[in-house]
Amino acid sequence: MIEMRAITNGNGTDSAEEPKPDKPIRIVIADDHPIFREGLKCLLGTQEDFQLLAEVGNGDEVLDTIEKLQPDILLLDLRMPGTHGLMILERLQATKISSTKVIVLTASEDKNEFVQAMKLGTSGIVLKQSPTDLLLKSIRKVYAGEIWLDSNTTAAVIRQFATGDEEAPVDSNRVRGRSPLSQREREIVSLVAQGFKNKQMAEKMFISEQTVKNHLHNIFDKLGVSDRLELALYAIHKKLHV
């Protein structure tokens, strides 16, 4: 099960300036296109709170670089020569050699890869055609412990989590045809999507932690989700998170 964190729906509508961390965010770029890497390096260099540690152009070099430098953020292209990005994510998750958070930075629109990347612990997915300010914002959000998905990616991931079938269209009556959520359950779904833990929800709602667990069990059953990440993604898709 992927550890649950607050999820940011990166639609670019929030114009408020992001708070800067106390120390520089240490970043490694893993991408096989030199021109793109150079442009990204220049972009990151304009930010006082970012520190670029290294650039990697081959998938085989990524794990060694992460283990050696222990960056805060890895900007990872899934499709590079050598080890595929998904395999890199799998090995990072299996070995736990680093606390590095990964943002997949890709030109691909393969939704299957997005889903697999999320299941393997990716903290964010940013398309290369996104505005640069969203990339900068995603780095700060992920560094702060949140998950970053833009609205289009969120919808795609939700559809595939919901159906369990990458190619089949969503039949909402079939997948979500169980009993509707109660008002209390909807409140809990909203809090989960905002990153609250069970104890925090219990205190906020003036109920016991066991009651929260019971509600979550019923919610999982009603919605057909298996963990808090899927529940939070569903909440964002259905606009239940606010």
CA trace torsion 212, 214, 215, 218 (10° rounding)? 160
Question: Is CATH 1.10.10.10 the right assignment for the domain spanning 173-237?
Answer: yes
pTM equals 0.65
The Cα-based distances of 231 to 193, 218, 237 in angstroms read 7, 12, 10
User: Comparing 156 with 133, which gets the higher pLDDT?
Assistant: 133
For 163-172, how does the pLDDT look when each residue is reduced to its tens digit (9 = 90+)? 544 333 333 3
Q: What is the pLDDT of residues 174-187, one digit of tens each?
A: 334 456 889 999 89
Give the pLDDT confidence score for residue 239 in this predicted structure.
66
- pLDDT: is 5 or 229 the higher one? 229
Q: Which residues pair with 9 in a beta bridge?
A: 149
Domain limits, the chain: 7-161, 173-237
In this structure, CATH architecture of domain 7-161 = 3-Layer(aba) Sandwich (3.40)
